[in-house]
Amino acid sequence: MAAQAKTSGFQYRGVNHVALVCRDMAETVDFYENVLEMPLVKSIGLGGRGQHFFFDCGNGATIAFFWFPDPPPFAPGVASQPLDIAKDGMMSAIASMNHLAIDIPAETFDAAVARLRGKGVECFVINHSDGADPAPSEPTAETWVRSVYFTDPNGIKMEFAAFTRPFTDSDILVDPVTEAGVPVPRRRKVPEMAR
Ligand SMILES: [Fe+2]
């Protein structure tokens, strides 16, 4: 992706962290460090109120986890994607975290899938593409992102995603809809935005 070259307005550098909730911090540390190979870079105790741990997921970004002693129950299909999306679809509630995608280089995609499978992680690949076939079994010239999907020990739906090319104006394919599903034209009011 091209770096944002801006001298005014908000200066973004990507995601700092996403904060998730685990059921078992020891199990979560084992999965993120030993399976996904994301080093633990910060761990703090919250007294009697739990723990907060951060894993490095590249480029200065982190995945953070809370462990709470008595949290609300796991709620797939509400707080996160259903566990079986083939059977139950992929919807989750407004303001939920549907799934978490970590960026990987496209040239490492096939090796990353093999590495996940070699570690016993169940996963499936989608080559998201424009054109007649939205998900060809192999990437084509119309593939814009390659994705491999899997689930962490907490039931969190995850993805390794590799963009295959820079975005252009022709990637903006549809107008946004309102709460009622009515399309409305998008009106930009900040001319210095990069795209
Ligand atoms: Fe995604």
CA of 50 to the centre of ligand 1 (A): 29
**DSSP percent split of the chain into helix, strand, coil, nearest 5:** 15, 30, 55
**pLDDT at 122 (0 to 100):** 97
- Cα of 98 to ligand 1 centre, how many Å? 9
Domain annotation covers residue 118 = yes
pLDDT at residue number 5: 62
Tell me which residue range forms the domain holding 102. Answer: 15-167
Q: How far is the CA of 7 from the centre of ligand 1 (A)?
A: 30
Q: First and final CA of the chain: distance in angstroms?
A: 12
Q: How confident is the model at residue 6 (pLDDT cuts 50, 70, 90)?
A: low
Residue 160, classified by CB atoms within 10 Å of its CB into exposed (0-12), middle (13-18) or buried (19+), is buried
The answer to whether residue 3 sits within a structural domain is no
Q: pLDDT for 92-143, tens place per residue?
A: 999 999 999 999 999 999 999 999 999 999 999 999 999 899 999 999 999 9
Look at residue 191 and tell me if it is in a domain. no
Within-domain flag for 131 = yes
Q: What is the count of structural domains for the chain?
A: 1
From the CA of 100, how far away is ligand 1's center (Å)? 7
How many C-beta neighbours within 10 Å does residue 157 have? 21
Indicate which CATH number applies to the domain containing 111.
Answer: 3.10.180.10
Query: Residue 55 falls within a domain, yes or no?
Result: yes
Mind listing the pLDDT tens digit for each residue in 24-81? 999 999 999 999 999 999 999 999 999 999 999 999 999 999 999 999 999 999 999 9
Cα 47 to middle of ligand 1, angstroms: 35
Distance 66 CA to ligand 1 centre (A): 23
How many angstroms does the Cα of residue 147 sit away from the middle of ligand 1? Answer: 7
DSSP line for 47-113: GGG-EEEEEE-STT-EEEEEE-SSPPPP-BTTTB--S-HHHH-S---TT----EEEE--GGGHHHHH
Q: How far is ligand 1, taken at its centre, from the CA of residue 128, in Å? A: 10
Match 């090319």 to its residue by tokens. 165
DSSP label at residue 28: H
> pTM for this structure?
0.92
Distance 101 CA to ligand 1 centre (A): 6
Is 27 a domain residue?
yes
| 159 in a structural domain | yes
Copy the structure tokens of residue 127: 């080559």
In a domain, 31, yes or no: yes
Residue 195 confidence (pLDDT) = 65
Angle at CA of residue 161, ends 58 and 82, nearest 5°: 110
For the segment 83-91, the average pLDDT, to the nearest whole number, is: 96
Rounded to the nearest whole angstrom, what is the distance from the C-alpha of residue 125 to the centroid of ligand 1? 12
